[in-house]
Amino acid sequence: MKLLTCPMNGPRNIDEFQSFGPVRARPDPNATADGDWSRHLFRAENRKGIVVEWWRHVPSNYFFLAERDLVSNEIIRTFDASELRDHP
């Protein structure tokens, strides 16, 4: 079982977590053309490389971010969402 280190609860088996997928851009819906909007809806970050994604630690309901390599599955780091907000 892979380990994921929750910034609040420490290293845990990954089955304690729920993936919410890569962080998505949030274009202004009212300033986006139809075609761009549908592409935004259905596109998914899937590049081979490192993604920043949302995870939920289910027992504590804590949401945080992780940088993970989609090829090696290595988790580079995990951090509280405030970090992204403060240093986007």
Partner 1 sequence: MPLRLLKYGLSRDYPVSGDIPATPDLKPAYDVVIIGGGGHGLSCAHHLAKYHGIKSVAVLEKAYLAGGNTARNTTTIRSNYITPEGIAFYKEGVELFERLSQELDFNVMFSQRGQLTLAHTEATMRSFHMRAEIGKHMGTRTEVVDQKGVEELCPLLNMDYGGPLEILGGLWHADGGTARHDAVAWGYAAQASRRGVEIHQRTEVQGFEVVGDRVQAVKTNRGRVACGQVLIATGGMNYDVALMAGVELPIRCYPLQAMVTQPLKPWLDTLVSSVSLHTYLVQSSRGEVVIGGGSDPYQLYSTRSTLDMKEHLAEGAVHLFPFLQGVRLLRQWAGITDMTPDYSPIMGASPLTNLWLDCGWGTWGFKATPVAGKRIAQTIAEGRVPDILKPFALERFETFRLLNEMGATAASH
Partner 2 sequence: MNRLPAPFGSRIARSRRIRFSFEGKPFEGYEGDSIASALAASGQWVLSRSFKYHRPRGILSMTGADANALVQLPSEPNAAAERTPISEGLRVSAQNINGSLERDRDAIMDRFGRFMPVGFYYRTFMGPRRDSWLKFWEPIIRRKAGLGVVDTKAPHRHFDKTHLHCDVLVVGAGPAGLSAAIAAAEAGADVVLCDENPEIGGALSYGRYDPSVLSGLSSRLEALPNLRVLTGTVCNGWYEDNWLPLIGGDRLHRTRAREVILATGAIEQPAVFRNNDLPGIMLGSAAQRLIRHYGVRPGDSAVVLAAHDDGCRTALDLLDAGVSVVELVDPRPAGEAGPLEAELRGKGVAIRKGVTVETAEGTAGNRHLARVRVGGSWIACDLLTVSIGSAPAWQLPCQAGGKVGYDAATQMMTITLPQGPVHLAGAVAATDELEDAIASGRRAAAAALSQLGHAVAVEPPATPKSARPRYVQPIVADPKGRDFVDFDEDLQVKDLQNATKDGYREIELVKRFTTVGMGPSQGRHSALATARIVAEATGRTIGDIGITTARPPVGPETLGVLAGHHETLERRTALQARHVALNAAMKPVGAWWRPYYYGDSSSADEAVREEILAVREGVGLLDVSTLGKLEIRGPDAGEFLDRLYTMAHANQPVGRVRYCLMLNEMGSVIDDGVAYRMAQDQFYVTATTGAVARVYADMLFWNAEWRLKVDVLNLTGAFSGLNVTGPKARRVLEALESDIDFSRDAFPYLSGHDGTVAGVPVRVMRIGFTGELSYELHCPSSLAPALWDAVMAAGKPHGLRPYGLEASRVLRLEKGHILIGQDTDAITTPDELGFGWAVSKKKPFFVGKRSIEMRARLGQTRKLVGLQFPAGARNIPGESCLVLRNGAPVGQITSVGYSPSLERHIALAYVHVDNQWEGSRVTVKCRNGELVEAPVITHAFFDPTNARQEI
Partner 3 sequence: MAAGTATRIHPFMPGGAADGTRLVSGAVVLSDLTGKPRFGLKGGGSADWLAAQGIPLPAVNRIGEHRAMRVLRLGNEDILLLAEDAAETLADVKAIWQAAPAPKGYSSWREEGWAWMRLSGPRLAEAMCSLCALDLRSQKFGADYIAQTRVGHIEAVTFRSPAGFDILFDITASAYFARAVAAVAGHTA
Residue 65, strand partner residues = 54, 79
Closest approach, Cβ 8 to partner 1, in A, equals 19
Could you tell which of partner 1, partner 2, partner 3, none binds residue 78, using a CB distance below 5 to 8 A set by kind? none
Count of residues engaged in binding partner 2, rule: CB under 8 A? 20
Please answer whether residues 9 and 42 qualify as being in contact, where contact means their C-beta atoms are separated by less than 8 angstroms.
Answer: no
Structure tokens at 30: 């009212």
At residue 75, φ and ψ (nearest 5 deg) are -100, 115
What residues line the site for partner 1 (CB under 8 A)?
A: 1-2, 15, 18-19, 21-22, 34-35, 38-39, 41-44, 46-48, 51, 53, 70-73
